[in-house]
A and B are shown apart, each in its own frame.
Chain A
Amino acid sequence: MTAPTRETLTINMGPQHPSTHGVLRLVLDLEGETVRACTPVMGYLHTGIEKEMETRTYYQNVTLVDRIEYVASYLEEMAFYLSVERLLGVEPPPRARTIRILMCELNRIASHLVYLGAAANDLNISSVFMYCFADREKFLDLSEMVSGQRMMPGYFRAGGVASDLPGEFVPAARAFLEVMARRVDEYERLLSDNLIWRERTEGISVLSREDAIALCATGPVLRGSGVAHDVRKVLPYGGYDEFEFDVPVRAGGDAYGRYLVRLEEMRQSRRIAAQALERLPDGPVLIADRKVALPPRAELARSMEAVIHQFKLVSEGIHPPAGDSYVATESARGEKGYYVVSDGSNRPVRVHVRAPSFYNLQTLPAMVIGHPLADVVVAIASIDIILGDVDR
């Protein structure tokens, strides 16, 4: 009989693994149950969106933008259009700005519901998964009301939004926020009082404050490691400075801290959305600059000029002046920004997406090395990656 030897075993986790939340492959060196090295291998979902965007007009590009972080499409469109509007030098009217913030915050709640459900499901708490997705369904209905689409809305436009909110939307959104107030408390009781959840997340996959900053983590991952950094607060964009909300921070840096941060963010998003519904100003939802925004449908029957503008915008698109722009926004996963370079033609020369999931995933080895294999699942879930965002 041979004596047991200490040797490292290299295994592939993924790309087809239920807890990698997509197609992510991790090459793990194991010593018994302990992870000694972790190399994420991505690109399985790389669709060349940045390259494709160079061949399309700005209007066409929204279709691609929606598909990057596909559970938070409104936030994605917000980031893209803020950057394009910075190039164009236009500002959306007040009503459009409030509608944008309203949709973004509703979307943030839905996105965190996906995180909560998926993270709980990874630890075999599948009832929370079902509840969360049932609640998210209500947001998808709201999205369908305003944009006609449940996902991939394509609702924002350069200089505003595509159409005004339908009459039934405001009461439905109020009802959704009403329900969510209770539901978030319920989820907190379901998970925070759950022994399995507590034991499997408290003190697990710890990311120190120093590592989080050095490895470019943003969003709930950074705030879960004790840094009060929220782009909506430090670099307000799109009108966020007019809203009251708090930035939740946890110093622990563990998976439990990131869960608490996201839970509290859902409450804060609810607060912002309620303020937006309260103050929703009257007025147009799209600017009147006909070189940027389509003329209203009714004008087309009366004005030849409107027909020409419509034709030019549809067949040619907008021409932002030459230059580059980057506007930082706070997506559900961290800082999202579009670096757009224009040469004055109807297509961007370069569009780069600052993808929060890509940068946050970089912290994974720091979280899992030296810890048991089973905690890798917890770490991935707590970073809340969207592979469409990592691979683009």
Chain B
Amino acid sequence: MAQASILDRLRPHVPWGLTTPREEGGRAVVFVTPGALLEVLEAARVHLGLDSLVDLTAWDRLPASPRFEVVYLLGQAGGADRLTVKVQADGDPPHLPSAVAIYAGAAWPEREVYDMFGVAFDGHPDLRRILMPDEWEGHPLRRDFPLFEEPVEFKGHTPKVPSEIIPFFPPRSSSGSGGETPPVPG
């Protein structure tokens, strides 16, 4: 499969001890340490011809540690090659090097990840919030950021969190365990 050979082609160009290649469901995935991130992105761009950053996002692994996983999806304009680069970061705020110098288009998605998760990208030219208002406190897509209903002015209304409408069923409970509260506080 073409996707697997990407990992082989990447191998000579990166410090392999700091990276873990893997194939998941037909996708070529490389786990890297924050220190090796830029080197891997640079190598993918220069040696593999992955000239476009398709997507950059993150997710909160709470309660696991390191807490945040940032996912870079690299692609090729006009080609089918794809490579997923994953990096995990911890700390408050977590720090990662910015990819803007390698992929100029990373500017906005990095702002979005900063806005939603509070991951600080060092070296970003303009790290500001992008979707939330500038004066917003907190980072909404963190798992411990509660989802709440805005207060209303009439009486007799009980605020309802959407997650209470259908109960949460933890993993491996397909027989139905009666619904436990989600592990997320708030």
The answer to whether residues A317 and B166 also contact, given A345-B171, A359-B105 and a CB cut-off of 8 A, is yes
Q: Which of B77, B145, B171, B174 has the most chain A CB within a 10 Å cutoff?
A: B77
Which chain A residues border B176 with CB–CB below 8 Å? Answer: 312, 315-316
Q: Which residue of B lies closest to A315 (CB)?
A: B166
Which chain B residues border A42 with CB–CB below 8 Å? Answer: 130-131
A343 x B171 contact (CB < 8 A): yes
Q: Which of B52, B82, B132, B162 contacts A216 (CB 8 A)?
A: B52
User: For chains A and B in complex, what number of residue pairs have CB atoms within 8 angstroms?
Assistant: 132
Give CA–CA (A317, B167) in the complex, Å.
10
B169 x A346 contact (CB < 8 A): yes
Sample (26) of A-B pairs whose CB atoms are under 8 Å apart: A42-B131, A43-B129, A43-B130, A52-B147, A54-B143, A55-B163, A213-B51, A213-B52, A228-B78, A229-B78, A229-B79, A291-B174, A312-B174, A317-B166, A319-B169, A326-B27, A335-B54, A337-B55, A339-B55, A345-B168, A345-B170, A347-B168, A354-B57, A358-B112, A359-B109, A391-B131
The answer to whether residues A234 and B131 also contact, given A316-B176, A352-B57 and a CB cut-off of 8 A, is no
B162 x A341 contact (CB < 8 A): no
Which chain B residues border A4 with CB–CB below 8 Å? Answer: none
10 closest A-B pairs by beta carbon, nearest first, are A344-B171, A216-B105, A350-B59, A55-B163, A43-B131, A352-B57, A354-B55, A46-B131, A214-B104, A346-B169
- Interface residues in B103-152 by Cβ distance below 8 A to A read 103-105, 107-109, 112, 116, 129-133, 140-141, 143, 145, 147
| Interface size, chain B (Cβ < 8 Å) | 50
The answer to whether residues A227 and B132 also contact, given A345-B168, A362-B108 and a CB cut-off of 8 A, is no
Which chain A residues border B80 with CB–CB below 8 Å? Answer: 234-235
Q: Tell me the B residues contacting A by CB distance below 8 Å.
A: 24-25, 27, 51-55, 57, 59-60, 71, 73, 75, 77-80, 82, 84, 103-105, 107-109, 112, 116, 129-133, 140-141, 143, 145, 147, 161-163, 166, 168-174, 176
Give CA–CA (A391, B116) in the complex, Å.
12
User: Is A60 engaged at the interface, CB distance under 8 Å to the other chain?
Assistant: yes
Query: Given A43-B131, A326-B27, A354-B73, 8 other A-B contacts at CB below 8 A?
Result: A50-B141, A51-B141, A216-B54, A319-B174, A323-B24, A326-B55, A349-B59, A350-B59
Which chain B residues border A55 with CB–CB below 8 Å? Answer: 147, 161-163
Which chain B residues border A50 with CB–CB below 8 Å? Answer: 116, 141
A48 x B161 contact (CB < 8 A): no
Which chain A residues border B53 with CB–CB below 8 Å? Answer: 216
Q: Which of B82, B112, B131, B162 has the most chain A CB within a 10 Å cutoff?
A: B131
- Chain B nearest CB: distance from A222 CB in Å? 7
Q: Which of A50, A60, A216, A322 has the most chain B CB within a 10 Å cutoff?
A: A216
Contact-size category for A = 35 or more
Q: Which of B59, B112, B172 has the most chain A CB within a 10 Å cutoff?
A: B59
The answer to whether residues A339 and B171 also contact, given A234-B79, A326-B55, A328-B54 and a CB cut-off of 8 A, is no
User: Is A57 engaged at the interface, CB distance under 8 Å to the other chain?
Assistant: yes
